[in-house]
Amino acid sequence: MNTKTETILELLHKHFSDEEKQYSEFESSDIEYFVGCMFYNHFAFSKALDNLKTMDLSYDFLSAFSDEEFKEIEQIVQSILIEDELQKLEFLQKFIEESRKKYTKSELYLLDRLAYHVNAMAQRYEKNAEVVHIDFQNPLLRK
């Protein structure tokens, strides 16, 4: 991992080492998941599905910080500048893979979800496939 990513993770793990700042059902692996989501948003991939272009950052995670505390982390994320989309993708995939190695299978739910979406996007790059919008609808509400 690069030093900026390590700094972000150190800051977040230190912050959440105080149990008073942890939300219910907190897992340490949540930190890597949310950092991955921040990278996903920051890189603004053209091959991301419309409905996944902004992976939702959990209210619980963000509410554990004051605006000032979170600003430092956002600034570091914004300072990671990569021009080429494939290099951005490789950066994110490497981050996820390295993060997954830190945790047990039972702790990987969110990271696995993120990996699934990023790997599906990687396949669109490999095949030079156009983005297709997926419309999630409740089948009971269809006419």
The most confident of the ranges 15-24, 39-48, 129-138 is 15-24
- What end-to-end distance do the CA atoms of the chain give, in Å? 50
Confidence band (pLDDT; 50, 70, 90) for 8? Answer: very high
Q: Which of 66, 14, 2, 8 is nearest to 33 (CA)?
A: 8
pLDDT at 98: 97
Full-model pTM? 0.80
For 99, counting Cβ atoms within 10 Å of its Cβ (0-12 exposed, 13-18 middle, 19+ buried), the class is buried
Per-residue pLDDT tens digits for 30-85: 999 999 988 988 888 887 766 566 666 677 788 888 888 889 999 999 999 999 99
